[in-house]
Amino acid sequence: MSGKQFLRRAFEYVLTFFAAISINFFLPKAMPGDPLALIAGDAIRQMGSEKITELRQAYGLDLPLGQQYLVYLGNLLRGELGYSYRYSGGQSVLEVILDRLGWTLLLVVASLILATLIGSTLGAWAAWHRGQARDLGLLTILFTLRSMPPFWLAMIIIPLFAIRWQLFPSGDSYSIPRPVGIQGFLDVLHHAILPILVLTLAYIPTAFAIMRSAMLSVLRADFIRTARAKGLRERDVRLRHAMRNAILPLITLVTLDFGQMLGGVTLIETVFNYRGIGSMMYEAVKSRDYPLLQGGFLIFTLGVLVINLMTDWLYPYLDPRLKETRA
C-alpha cells in the first residue's frame, strides 16, 4: 500500500471513528432510567430539588443533549473519559478500563490464536480428504458446534468441568485472597481456561470453513497441477504450495473474528463473572453508567479499527498480486 493510499484509508477510518463515537454518545442516552438513581441510591427519595439539581450540574446532566455532546467531544480530544457513576472513590473511567482491559485481552487473544490454528489445520486436513468419511464427519461436528450460542455452550461446560468434576473454578479471574508470583500466574491461567475454551470452540468452525473452502479452491489451481507434474511429493505440494496460498484469507478472518469476539466476550465474561471489559459493560448497562458505557464502546471501536487498518496495510505485502492490481 502506497503512502497516499494509506493516508486515504486512514482518513476513511477517522470518519468511521467519528460516526462510531457519535452513536456511542447518543445510544446510551436513549436507554430508559435515570442515572441519578444509581449515583444517589436510596437517598434520592429524601433529597430536595436543590440537591438533585446540584448533582445534575456536577455530572453535566443538566445541559441540553447537544451541549453534552460537544463537552463529550472536547473531553475525548483531551483524553478524558469522565468518571464512573458506579465506581465510587473518584475512580475515572480510564482507570476502570485499564484495570480490566488486560483480562479481556487475555481471553480474546488466546482464544483467537487457538481457534485460528486449530480451525485452519482441521480445515486444510478436511480439504485434503474431501468427500471422505473423515471430511463429512468433521463438517457435521463443527457445523453443529457452530449452531450453538457461546453462552449456551458455557452453561453446558460449567456444570461439567466446574461443578461435577471440579477441575476448574466456575467464575472470577483469580482466587481470593489472590496468590502472588508463579502461583498467581497459574491461578489466573486456571480461572481463564474455561472462558478461553468456550470462545475457542465457538470460533473454530469459522476458521475451519474458511480454510477448507480456500484450500479446495487452491487445490484446483493450475500451479498446483504444474507442481504435481514436476514430480513434487504430495506433502510438499499441499504444505509449501497449496496451504501457503490458502492461508491468506485467514488474515481477513482474524480481523473479523477479533471484532466478533470483542462483542461476544461480554456474554462469556458475564456467565463466568470474569473481571473484564465485557462484564463491566454489562454492569454499566444495568446501572445506566453513561461514561463507563461510552468508554467501553470506545475501546472496542478503537480495537476493531486499528486491527482493520493494520490488515489493510499488511495484506498487499503478504499477497503480491494486490500490488500488481493496484499498480
pLDDT tens digits, 2-17:
667 767 877 888 888 8
**pLDDT (tens digit per residue) in 162-171:** 988 989 998 8
Q: With a cut of 60, say whether residue 322 has pLDDT above it.
A: no
Q: With a cut of 70, say whether residue 105 has pLDDT above it.
A: yes
Q: What is the mean pLDDT of the chain?
A: 83
Q: With a cut of 80, say whether residue 45 has pLDDT above it.
A: no
Note the pLDDT of residue 89: 59
Note the pLDDT of residue 88: 57
Can you say whether residue 177 is alpha, beta or left, with left for phi > 0 and alpha for psi between -120 and 50 degrees?
beta
Which pLDDT band holds residue 64 (cuts at 50, 70, 90)? confident
Find out whether 269 and 173 touch, Cβ atoms under 8 Å.
no
Note the pLDDT of residue 54: 77
Note the pLDDT of residue 106: 93
Find out whether 115 and 123 touch, Cβ atoms under 8 Å.
no
- Say how far apart CA 9 and CA 3 lie, in whole Å: 10
**pLDDT (tens digit per residue) in 221-270:** 888 888 888 888 877 888 777 877 787 777 777 777 777 787 778 889 98
Q: With a cut of 90, say whether residue 71 has pLDDT above it.
A: no
Highest mean pLDDT among 72-76, 122-126, 314-318: 122-126
* 191 falls within a domain: yes
User: Cβ atoms within 10 A of the Cβ of 184, count?
Assistant: 13
The amino acid present at 220, given as its one-letter code, is R
DSSP string, 81-123: --B-SSS-SS-BHHHHHHHHHHHHHHHHHHHHHHHHHHHHHHH
Q: Which residues form the domain of 140?
A: 96-286
Note the pLDDT of residue 195: 94
Find out whether 272 and 195 touch, Cβ atoms under 8 Å.
yes
- Total of domains in the chain: 1
CATH number of the domain at 113, please. Answer: 1.10.3720.10
Q: With a cut of 90, say whether residue 290 has pLDDT above it.
A: no
Give the C-alpha distances (Å, rounded to integers) separating 169 from 23, 49, 176, 188. Answer: 37, 48, 12, 11
- Say how far apart CA 253 and CA 261 lie, in whole Å: 12
**pLDDT (tens digit per residue) in 111-147:** 999 999 999 999 999 998 888 999 999 999 998 998 8
Question: What is the Cβ-side half-sphere exposure of residue 105, based on CA atoms within 13 angstroms?
Answer: 9
Give the C-alpha distances (Å, rounded to integers) separating 105 from 32, 101, 114, 126, 237. Answer: 31, 6, 14, 31, 37
* 205 falls within a domain: yes
